[in-house]
Each structure stands twice: as C-alpha cells, then as structure tokens.
C-alpha cells in the first residue's frame, strides 16, 4: 500500500490545512516538550513568527532515564490545544500508549510515533484505526525496509495519512547524537509515494548542525522538516542543546526559503 511501484503518484497528507508531499515543503517547529502554558506559548510564537506552519511539542515523552522529565500529560495536551487555536496553526504530539490515542486526537491534529515505538505493532495498528494523520519516525536502528513496513501497518489498518520521518540512526559515530541518514530520504522517496520529512534536531543533537542539515533535507528531496525551537533553550527540560533560539530559527527559515525556491 505504501509502495510507489503500485501507486506512482505522490501522496499529499494534510495536518490541519497544512499539506505535506507533492509540491509542498512544510515546516513544523516547537519545543521538544510542552513545559507549561507560558513557556509553550513563547516557543510556539517564536516558531510561527519564524515561519513554522505547524507546531510540535511532547506531552508524553519517551526518556532514556526514568528520572528525567516524562512530560506534562493531559495538561500539556490542553496547553497545546489552546496555543494552537490562539495561533491558528495545527499541532502534533507523540503517542506512546494505545490508551492515550483518543485523548490526544481530541486535542491535537496529528499523532507522532516516536523512533522508540516504530515497531510497536499494536500502537501502529491502533493509530491505523483512526483518521488522524501520523508522523512515523524511523526507528533508532531500523532499516529502510522495516520503516516502510511499519508505515504499511498503519495504512493497512485503514489510515492512509502517514508521513515518514528520517530522524537519524545509531551508528559507530558518537560525535553527533545520531547519524542523519539522507540516503534514506532519497530512497524512501523513490520506494514510496508517502511524504518524507526530516528531523535535523534529533538527527544531529547539535544546534549548530540543524541549519546545514535542514538545507540538505531540501536538496535531497524531503517534503518538510520538523525542528526543535525553544524560547530559552538553556532552560529547556529536554533537548536544549539541539533546540534553536528564536532568532536562529527565524534566520534559518529565511535561508531555507531560498533553497526551497531553488529546488
Ligand atoms: C521527539 O520528537 O522529541 C522525539 C523524542 O523524537 P524521536 O522519537 O525521533 O527520538
Ligand atoms: Mn526532543
């Protein structure tokens, strides 16, 4: 179902009214996690002012350590819904548990399946039974074939609204948090009709590398990027080191615009 061989035309998936795929290049911005109303509003305003057309933010966070901030849960979803309404842009958040799907769908416009859950097949089938768009992140050590088969689970369950996301894989290299696999973007675009976006924030883990890799994403044919931006990265409860400052984000969006028009 996700194969381009059988379905040659590009799929366009909408998050709210924002299109992903085809001729579009769409930018999602926002903090790693929703830390509270004032904080999320400030980061979201920076993202939208800079040029993001959709918001990101985690309410249920998959943290490596059980002692790290785990996310604000339902309260964070309410914050997202309110700010998304205030700014008039759709929002996406990660779902980690099938039990939270309904609640999340009531508050935001798209579900994210995180890298750590890419092969949580029950979760894939459950989001496949909704009509809500899904951003499916590539697993930390998942092959391209496994990633496409994970997408197949969602579409086969009845939900065609899947956006693939390359967010870096684990390799022998430790100088960056992950190795952003741009091969995968080019290949997934050939193998599948689904939109493919790039997450240069988790893909590198280093603020200074987010811009260059976002530009590379445009060049390699991605349909959009998802970027972490925080109003005060130093104070962020998660992923501050890879979060852009508001002015950096705005500057990058201006530069990216030239790349998008040239592509
Ligand atoms: C995130 O988007 O904040 C996140 C946890 O992403 P990933 O699942 O790609 O690590
Ligand atoms: Mn993050």
| 127 inside domain | yes
The pLDDT, as a whole number, for residue 263 is: 85
CA dist., res. 118 & res. 33, Å (int): 19
Q: Residue with the nearest Cα to atom 8 of ligand 1?
A: 114
| 1 inside domain | no
How large is the average pLDDT for residues 210-218? 98
| 160 inside domain | yes
Task: Decide if pLDDT at 125 tops 90.
Answer: yes
| 96 inside domain | yes
Task: Decide if pLDDT at 113 tops 90.
Answer: yes
Regarding the beta carbon of 90 and ligand 1, being less than 6 Å apart is answered no
The pLDDT, as a whole number, for residue 7 is: 96
Q: Residue with the nearest Cα to atom 4 of ligand 1?
A: 114
CATH number, domain at 37? 3.20.20.70
Pocket test for ligand 1, best of 62, 176, 229 (most atoms within 8 A of CB): 62
| 85 inside domain | yes
| 22 inside domain | yes
Task: Decide if pLDDT at 193 tops 90.
Answer: yes
Regarding the beta carbon of 58 and ligand 1, being less than 6 Å apart is answered yes
What are the distances in angstroms from CA 57 to CA 2, 43, 127, 152, 153? 27, 10, 18, 26, 25
Regarding the beta carbon of 114 and ligand 1, being less than 6 Å apart is answered yes
Q: Could you report the per-residue pLDDT of 4-48, keeping only the tens digit for each?
A: 999 999 999 999 999 999 999 999 999 999 999 999 999 999 999
| 79 inside domain | yes
The pLDDT, as a whole number, for residue 110 is: 98
Burial of 6 (0-12, 13-18, 19+ CB in 10 A): exposed
The pLDDT, as a whole number, for residue 235 is: 97
The pLDDT, as a whole number, for residue 212 is: 98
| 8 inside domain | no
Split into its structural domains, the chain has a count of: 1
Provide ipTM, 2 decimals: 0.98
- Provide the domain limits for residue 89: 13-256
């Amino acid at each position: 179902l996700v194969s381009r061989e059988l379905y040659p035309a590009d799929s366009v998936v909408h998050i709210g009214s924002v299109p992903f795929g085809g001729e579009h290049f769409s930018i999602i911005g926002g903090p790693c996690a929703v830390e509270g109303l004032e904080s999320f509003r400030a980061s979201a305003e920076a993202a939208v002012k800079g040029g993001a057309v959709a918001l990101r933010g985690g309410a249920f966070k998959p943290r490596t350590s059980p002692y790290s901030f785990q996310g604000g849960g339902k309260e964070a979803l309410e914050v997202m819904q309110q700010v998304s309404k205030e700014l008039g842009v759709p929002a996406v958040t990660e779902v980690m548990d099938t039990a939270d799907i309904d609640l999340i769908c009531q508050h935001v416009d798209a579900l994210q399946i995180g890298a750590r859950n890419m092969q949580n097949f029950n979760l894939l089938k459950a989001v496949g039974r909704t009509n809500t768009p899904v951003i499916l992140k590539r697993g930390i050590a998942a092959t391209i074939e496994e990633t496409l088969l994970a997408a197949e689970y969602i579409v086969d369950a009845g939900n065609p609204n899947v956006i693939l996301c390359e967010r870096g894989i684990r390799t022998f290299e430790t100088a960056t948090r992950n190795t952003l696999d741009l091969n995968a973007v080019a290949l997934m675009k050939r193998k599948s009709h689904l939109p493919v976006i790039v997450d240069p924030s988790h893909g590198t883990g280093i603020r200074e590398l987010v811009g260059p890799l976002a530009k590379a994403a445009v060049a390699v044919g991605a349909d959009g990027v998802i970027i972490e931006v925080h109003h005060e990265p130093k104070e962020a409860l998660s992923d501050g080191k890879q979060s852009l400052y508001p002015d950096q984000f705005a500057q990058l969006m201006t530069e990216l615009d030239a790349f998008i028009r040239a592509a």
